[in-house]
């Protein structure tokens, strides 16, 4: 995954439950390493339209730069969000969010079909 322009309105943000990205049940996320000894705290959240947090599907910590998970199928009124926080020696060193704030930012909301 790579970021998109943070100062541009992302397509689909006006539609509360749209998501162009549809993934298979067995999903592989990968990201670039931020260095030796960095730990990555991750969570995948299920969101119900119109943008109501439902549940954290999975969360944990890894020193790997990938996460492979089999997710439940998405209902028509649900989508997922991925968030990864990187830390080194208990100090935050980075964040990857698959959603933006106020309609700006990365937009990797996704559904599983």
pTM > 0.85: yes or no: no
**The domain that contains 72 carries what CATH number?**
2.60.40.10
* Residue at 12 is within a domain: no
Q: Got the DSSP string for 1-60?
A: -----TTSBPTTTTSTT--SEEE-SEEEEE-----TT-EEEEEEEEEETTTEEEEEEEEE
Dist CA 74 CA 112 (whole Å): 5
- Residue at 14 is within a domain: no
Residue 37 inside a domain? The answer is yes
Query: pLDDT by residue for the chain (113 residues), tens digit each?
Result: 444 455 555 455 445 565 566 778 888 888 889 899 999 999 988 888 877 889 999 999 999 999 999 988 888 888 888 888 899 998 998 887 665 554 444 445 677 77
Q: Count the residues in the chain.
A: 113
Q: How many domains does the chain have?
A: 1
Query: Is 3 a member of any domain?
Result: no
Structural domain including 45 reads 21-112
């Amino acid at each position: 995954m790579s970021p998109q322009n943070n100062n541009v309105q992302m397509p689909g943000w006006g539609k509360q439950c749209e998501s162009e990205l549809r993934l298979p049940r067995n999903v592989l996320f990968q990201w670039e390493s931020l260095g030796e000894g960095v730990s990555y705290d991750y969570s995948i959240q299920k969101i119900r339209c119109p943008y109501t947090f439902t549940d954290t599907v999975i969360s944990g910590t890894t020193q790997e730069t990938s996460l492979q998970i089999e997710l439940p199928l998405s209902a028509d009124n649900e989508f997922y969000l991925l968030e990864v926080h990187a830390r080194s020696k208990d100090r935050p060193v980075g964040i990857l969010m698959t959603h933006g704030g106020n309609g700006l930012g990365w937009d990797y909301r996704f559904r599983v079909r």
